[in-house]
Amino acid sequence: LLSQKKLHKFELASLANLCPETPEEAKSLIPSLEGRLEDEELRTILDDIQTKRSLQY
């Protein structure tokens, strides 16, 4: 699912490492996301990452 999104590898890695909780926080930490993704799309990605992280531990 995550690989289907229009994210660069460094953006995906940054999201996974920084673990922002909201789309606004993600956009402030990773400015290149601004204007490229809708908040709902970004929210879905963040929820997906959070789910994957919770399954690891």
Mean pLDDT of 6-13: 90
Determine the Cα angle at 30 with ends 45 and 7, to 5°. Answer: 45
- Predicted local distance difference test score (pLDDT) of residue 56: 76
Kind and range of the H or E run holding 1: none
Distance CA 3, CA 24 (A): 21
The model's pTM is 0.82
Q: Does the pLDDT at position 4 exceed 90?
A: no
Structure tokens at 21: 């909780």
12-50 tens-digit pLDDT: 999 999 999 999 999 999 999 999 889 999 999 999 999
